[in-house]
Structure 1
Amino acid sequence: MTLHRAPQQPLHPALRLALARCRTLVVEGPDGIGRGALIAELARQGFLVRRASGPLHHVDPTQPYRELLAAPGRLAVDGSLVHELVYGPLRRGRSRVTWIQALDFAEAVAERDGAVLHVTGARDDAEAVEGYERALGTLGQHVPVITLDARSVGLPVRGPAHTSAGDLRRPPGS
């Protein structure tokens, strides 16, 4: 699957900014967005693509992600930690990822000249949308968060999309 853009059409400005500024991108987004095309585009742009295998570790869910961040060069991680922060409480009553673990991970991504690439646009319930806003607002104090509407970069989306502008929020002092 490729991003559906005409050859003469440039990449979305927020994505182009991320490609220019970041050595590490962690791709996150709600259920219903086909992130595979974005991951494939990052690979074409020279990013090594990695995904933590299997379910989250029961004692230290961030361990596989820390190991992935040890790879050299440009790295794209198909993430799930923010997804767990959002959907864990909604589906199981609690997240398997603690805020301390999530903040440590965010700082490790930032130290690797990275950002969280938050893909929006899937039809999702208001609680999940609020959960992402809250989680990424908190993590955004420790790592840049780049928000892209899935439709603006040609990703498949199930259901009507909510609107989200592409922006780059830098942590204070950056």
Structure 2
Amino acid sequence: MNLPQALLSHRTLVIEGVDGIPRNGLIAQLAHHGFPVQHLPDRLHHVDPTRPYRELLATPGRMALDGSIIHELVYGPLHRGHSRVTWIQALDFAESVAERDGALIHLTASVSCLRPAPSDSTEAADAYARAMRTLAQHVAVVSLDAADLTHLPRPGTPAHRELGRNQQQLTVRW
């Protein structure tokens, strides 16, 4: 699945990836396609880190979350030696996203694309890959290379939908 397919088939998208990957173009595209983008504070709730996410996922309509508790699951061990989010909480979050017809957008990039390139970017990329493989058992995961973000259509460009004659796959072309 690619981003245009995700835009058509999901009403909840969670953007995740290593710190330093440029996201502004993707966020603009999501907003253009009717996804209000939510940015939650970096500080997690001190008692229940998943609470703000549960509250957001309980609201109706389309939405995109820029980052989530998966960031803590990856960076907590790298920065503090442990995560304040448990795997059970992360799996519960993934299932909540899936129940809301959602998907995780896993942004990837080569180290040269990161701005600025964090010193722990290789370890974080490996941790994100492991986390996404695990979470993909509970929610759809769309992997998207940051280099591909430059090929997204500009806002205002209409999408044309067509169904291939011999394929049971929806293709979207701009």
Matches within 5 A, 1:122-141: 122-123=110-111, 125-141=121-137
TM-score when normalising by structure 2? 0.77
Deviates more, 1:45-54 or 1:83-92: 45-54
1:31 paired residue among 19, 28, 39: 19
Among the aligned pairs, what percent are the same residue?
62
| Aligned pairs, number | 143
Runs of 4+ in 1 over 6 A off after TM superposition: none
Query: RMSD in angstroms over aligned alpha carbons?
Result: 1.6
Deviations 1:68-106 (A, max 9, x none): 112211111112321111111011000111111101100
Alpha carbons 2:25, 2:149 under 8 Å: kept:
no
Unaligned runs of 5+ in 2: 112-119, 152-174
- CA 1:125–1:77 in 2, change beyond 3 Å: closer, same or farther? closer
CA distance in structure 2 between the partners assigned to 1:66 and 1:43 by the alignment: 21
Taking structure 1 as the reference length, the TM-score comes to 0.77
1:66 paired with 2:54, answer yes
Equivalent in the alignment of 1:166 = none
Whether the aligned pair in 2 keeps the contact of 1:33 and 1:122 (CA below 8 Å) is: no
- For 1:145, which of 126, 141, 147 is the aligned residue? 141
What SS does the aligned partner of 1:154 have?
helix
The residue type equivalent to 1:86 in the other structure is V
The runs of 5 or more residues in structure 1 that have no matched partner are: 1-12, 156-174
What are the equivalent positions in structure 2 for 1:12-27 lying under 5 Å apart? 14-27=2-15
- Check 1:114–1:90 CA distance in 2 against 1; reply closer, same or farther (3 A cut): same
> Which AA in structure 1 matches 2:55?
E
1:48 aligns with 2:36: yes
Larger radius of gyration: 2
Alignment of 1:78 with 2:66, yes or no, is yes
